[in-house]
Structure 1
Amino acid sequence: MVSAARRLLMRRQGPWLFEGEESFPALGGLRCCVQIGDFDEIGRTLVIDGTVQLSEVIDPVYTTSLVFPAALLAPSRRRWLIVGGGDGAAAREALRFRDTELVRLVDVSRVVIEQTQALIPSFWAGCQRDSRLEIITRDATRVMAEMVDREEQVDVLVYDLSDPSTDDITPFSESPADDLYSEAAFRAASRCLRPGGVFVAQMAELSQLQWRAHARGRRLLSRVFRHVHSYRTHIEPFGYSESWILASDHEGVGDPTREVDVDARLAELYTGDATGLYDGAWHRQLFTLPPWLRRTLSEG
């Protein structure tokens, strides 16, 4: 059952395995509540401020949808920057691409990083011990600014953040990610990308009921990147269609459903087992939006 605010009301098995509050001085003392528990429907789950972020059941669909389109369309996957992603799942998948040399994960929450490693090891699958992974617990805005100053660039930049706070969904709370969904942050992200690099961001619910947050993010990204594409899939335990936005100045991202042979690229580049998780047909349907939604976003 999902409430009007799109918060899950599910059956938890026993007490929380972890429950704690974390404060972020770099974000003006903003606080958040982090919880980990076992749920009947979705397995072991990370919850932040009462909202499910990732669970054992959600992980395969959500994480491949976030990471694979950008990875398969990018000319190179040598260097990655993951903004957020403190649960480790996006880093796990990035490290499974054959040409990956460095994954820099920047998340402000040390608690999320440490507790998911301890209590939900499937999210990380041991990748925290991979020498190619660099974990930084700082404000990502500052880290990106420093990268711009150093002219340090990556091939793929992934925003794996909590949803931005909005008047219609979270009117009484702030998100640690709010500043990262601004045009200034998107411009900094673009300057952290090499020519041809690909940016992808989780961008909240995209449905007939809730589309404004996505449309706002798309509008801002369209001011920064030449090619911007919305995509989504239904995440059953969420009770709605989660969405992402892919953006790049690379001409190969002009049409994300035609510019790449997904099955051939997976066989060539991915060292894990994508069977049942991702293929060309699934990739194409992710980017296939109904006419009313395409019109809404174009007008939005």
Structure 2
Amino acid sequence: MSDHEHSSTEKEARRAMPGRPWTPQEEPRQDALRRYLAAVAAAASARTAEETEPAPGTAKSEPSSATSATPSAPEPATLHVRDVMQVPAVSVPGDMPFLDVAHTLAREQLSAVPVVDAADHVIGVVSESDLLAKAAVMAEPHRHGPVGRLRQHRLYEKGHGDTAATLMTFPPVTVHPAERVADAAWTAARARLKRLPVTDYRGRLVGVVTRRDLLRALIRDDAEIRTEVESLIGQHLLDPRAVEVTVDNGVVTMTGTLDNALAVQLLASVRDIDDVVDIVDRIEAV
């Protein structure tokens, strides 16, 4: 990922930051958001490179004998939506009454739920905001002022619905189980959705994937990063215990005493590990 992409990602994350002071939990959340956006951007860049084809009439370059003789390193497995989606998915039928939909969301602790027809095809999504529109119309059935009617016409009309099908938002934004996690992340980001129904090729509901599911798939947690760093140290040092490693929100802290040249090489290798945000160098060179 280029420095320009990193800069753009951080600027985008900063735009979403609140003006009020952060809570103790906010900074780690923002760090995770930056890592998430960076991972999505990196995946998109890789996809663009894969899809780039040579111009017509241009022969593809053949690998040199030296290159072909060297076995290539195994590429990391590509995660797909089917690998991270939640099964089974909670859904409601189109004819479910408003109050029953509200009870379903409350019972399942969900902010939105897919609406399906008799054949389990996803026909829309009903969310808390849809239910709030209905509740507002029930509380105040008559609006006042022509401006309010023009600006809120669609929301107001939806609020008169009594079933999931009349309250839902449609057409639904869905993803397929075979889609890559990075592509699903872009879909969720563009649509500003926290949950995406997963459907088969016939549009039938087979699961649901959340932004948290996508985040966990795109960004490894600190324990996994530490395991890879320690494995890398074991390849460089006869005694891996010579360097102590801690990881906090993707920031790797390395402490110990090493030969200067070896320390430089080791730090460079760790910096290249995916999801390492930064390195705190506390190695004493000798």
TM-score by length of 1: 0.19
Quick check: which has more Rg, 1 or 2?
A: 2
Higher strand share: 1
